[in-house]
Structure 1
Amino acid sequence: MDLFVKLAEGFMEMIKAGADVFMGFVTGIIPLLIVLITIVTAFIKLVGEERIFGFMKKLSRFTIFRYTLIPFFSLFFLTNPMAYTFGRFIDEKKKPAFYDASVSFCHPITGLFPHANSAELFIFLGIAQGFAQVGSQSKLALMYLLVGLVVSLMRGVVTERITEFLMKRNNVTKQNAA
């Protein structure tokens, strides 16, 4: 009988711990996310979607921007998973590389801009909690963002080259790629 009592008490303690974490989210991160999403939405409305989209189309011509700034802006403005729709500004042959760069950037952007990929926030917070004991959580978030941009660029360029190689090898032309 004591075993069942201990199991029931342990189960209730687990439920209470979960409730404490949930209340921390309700009073901490959830209002932050709502405010960030509201600010980003207001910014898009003020500037205008057409201007933002035109700017992205111009940026897509340059490799370094295609795999750093466009994934950053797409995740910042549209958040995950809508961010991948910015692929419409990218040439058809370069879309796989853009997607690879964007997916690679989902974690790094979360530290400074949690609204961009809120599902990944819990992973970042887990890492940051340990880091906060020895350093600055903000410094970690910034380093994470910068390294993420470099990794996104590298992955985008490599994936672009692989895509070009495979398209040449399989005789894929622009007409049948679209």
Structure 2
Amino acid sequence: MLEWLAGGAEAFIGVFNEGGKVFVAFVTGILPTLIVLLTAVYAIIELVGEQRVHKVARYAAGNAFTRYTVLPVLAVFFLTNPMAYTFGVFLEEKHKPAFYDSAVSFVHPITGLFPHANPGELFVWLGVAAGITKLVENGTAPFSLAKLALFYFVVGLVVILLKGIVTEWITKLIARREGVTL
């Protein structure tokens, strides 16, 4: 009985020891990169000017294609998750649900290229990246990690465009059925 208890205690603390190793790896690995990336993004916003960023956002809200591709990309890149959703302020009420759907769907695909955009999704990306890295090391990967990140990004753009258009259509359909004027 005593051995079983000791083994359980060792396993319990072992989980925290492994968590500590992962934490240290993040602190010495990805954390400095994220801090530098965030600093660079804020510097770009300061150099370009907040008003210019807003002007581009208003322009991107003008048609369905840019509203559900360019605007979510700008929002997620510059404001990161969850502040990105505030870019909906540049939209008419009838477009806000579809924009939100597009933006929230883009927080993972952007992470491979720009990890600062959504650090919460970074764990998912790092898990996939670890698998691809092992395949690359073994010479069995059909593509590099950089290509995977680019594919995620491009496929994410297509998905958010389709989701935005479909959600806008569903919003109109429900509003009409409920007698709500948009």
TM-score category, normalised to shorter length: over 0.9
Q: Deviations over 1:62-102 (max 9, x none)?
A: 21111111111100000000000000111211110000011
Q: What number of residue pairs does the alignment pair up? A: 174
Question: For 1:17, what is the secondary structure of its paired residue?
Answer: helix
* Partner of residue 172 from structure 2, selected from 164, 171, 178: 164
Q: Which residue of 2 aligns with 1:29?
A: 30
* Partner of residue 153 from structure 1, selected from 136, 161, 171: 161
1:108-127 alignment, distance < 5 Å: 108-127=109-128
- Gaps spanning 5+ residues in structure 2: where? 136-140
Deviates more, 1:1-10 or 1:41-50: 1-10
Deviation of the 1:156 alpha carbon: 0.2
- Is 1:12 aligned with 2:13? yes
- Is 1:91 aligned with 2:92? yes
**RMSD over aligned Cα atoms:** 1.2
Q: Deviations over 1:33-64 (max 9, x none)?
A: 11111000111111111111011101111211
- Gaps spanning 5+ residues in structure 1: where? none
TM-score of the two chains, using structure 2 as the length reference: 0.91
Q: Give me the identity figure in percent.
A: 53
Deviation of the 1:5 alpha carbon: 2.1
What one-letter code is carried by the residue in structure 1 that aligns with 2:24?
A: M
- Is 1:78 aligned with 2:86? no
What one-letter code is carried by the residue in structure 1 that aligns with 2:97?
A: P
Question: For 2:160, what is the secondary structure of its paired residue?
Answer: helix
Q: Hey, what's the Cα distance between the residues in 1 that align with 2:53 and 2:27?
A: 32
Deviation of the 1:131 alpha carbon: 2.1
Deviation of the 1:12 alpha carbon: 2.9
Question: For 1:108, what is the secondary structure of its paired residue?
Answer: coil
